[in-house]
Amino acid sequence: MRFLLALCLGLVALAGASQSPLQRRVVKEVLEYFHGRSNVHFLFKEQAVDGAVEREDPSGTFVQLRLSLAQTACRKKAPRRQNCRILENQRKPACLACYKFDGGDVPKVLDKYQNCGPSHHLAAKEIKQRDEAECRAVEEAGKSADALYLPGMYAFSMGLPA
| Predicted confidence (pLDDT) per residue in 90-143, tens digit | 888 999 999 999 988 889 999 999 999 887 776 678 888 999 999 999 999 887
Within a domain: residue 139? yes
Within a domain: residue 26? yes
| Predicted confidence (pLDDT) per residue in 64-84, tens digit | 999 999 999 999 887 766 788
Within a domain: residue 14? yes
3-state secondary structure string across 2-59 = HHHHHHHHHHHHHHHHCCCHHHHHHHHHHHHHHHCCCCCCEEEEEEEEEEEEEEEECC
Task: Give me the domain span that covers residue 142.
Answer: 2-147
Concatenated DSSP letters of 85-112: PBPTTS--EEEEEEEEE-SSSSPPEEEE
Give the number of domains in the chain: 1
Q: CATH code at 140?
A: 3.10.450.10
pTM of the entire predicted model: 0.72
Within a domain: residue 27? yes
Within a domain: residue 156? no
Strand partners, 94: 68, 117
Within a domain: residue 157? no
For the residues 141-147, what does the mean pLDDT come to? 63
